[in-house]
Amino acid sequence: MLGRSIYRLLLRITGILLLLWALYVAFQIATQQSYAGDSYVGPLIQSRFQDAIWLFFIEGAFFLAAAAVLSLGFSFRHPHVAYWSIQVALWFAGISLWYKFNQSFDPLPQDPLWLIVTVICSVLLLALYKPLLYLIRKLVLPTGGLPSPT
């Protein structure tokens, strides 16, 4: 029992640190100095919004956020939260890969390979909902199960 509580504590600490790191990377990108020629225009997020969003994907802020969501999801005792954190992390990583391997920032990138892979994996996770929930229950719940409220 003590081992699982330490495991959950370490997962929460890891998730919070990864989330803070992702926010730091996003803040660092958003506040980069932007220049037009030799003159300072302002922060990157204010002057060239699309370039800032593109850099969020390239620098890996969404990968860090996906790892943080996954760690935090598994740190709770609820199997449904862990399952949906897998889905959210999959979509964060899949959309990030979709934009990362595209060579230009467009609302809809030209190469849909990573989007198709993400959709297929998400549907597969949905099809395996019951077996995955059973497996997640074995991982996140204590061996005796949750105590009944009295």
Indicate the average pLDDT of the chain: 84
Residues 98-121: tens digit of each pLDDT: 877 776 666 666 778 888 899 999
Task: Name the pTM for this structure.
Answer: 0.79
pLDDT over 70 at 148, yes or no: no
Q: pLDDT at position 143, please?
A: 61
- Tell me what pLDDT residue 76 has: 87
Angstrom CA distances, 85 to 12, 89, 111, 133, stand at 13, 6, 26, 12
Using alpha carbons, list the distances in angstroms from residue 29 to 70, 75, 104, 111.
23, 29, 18, 25
Q: CA-to-CA distance for 124 and 20, rounded, in angstroms?
A: 31
pLDDT at 65: 93
pLDDT at 3: 63
How do the domains of the chain map onto residue ranges?
A: 2-140
pLDDT computed for residue 125 by the predictor: 94
Tokens at 72, concatenated: 């935090």
Q: In this predicted model, what pLDDT tens digit does every residue of 51-103 receive, in sequence order?
A: 788 788 878 888 999 999 999 999 988 899 999 999 999 999 988 888 777 76
CA distance 135 to 133: 5
End-to-end CA distance of the chain: 21
Q: What does DSSP say about strands 33-36 and 39-43: parallel, antiparallel, or unpaired? A: antiparallel
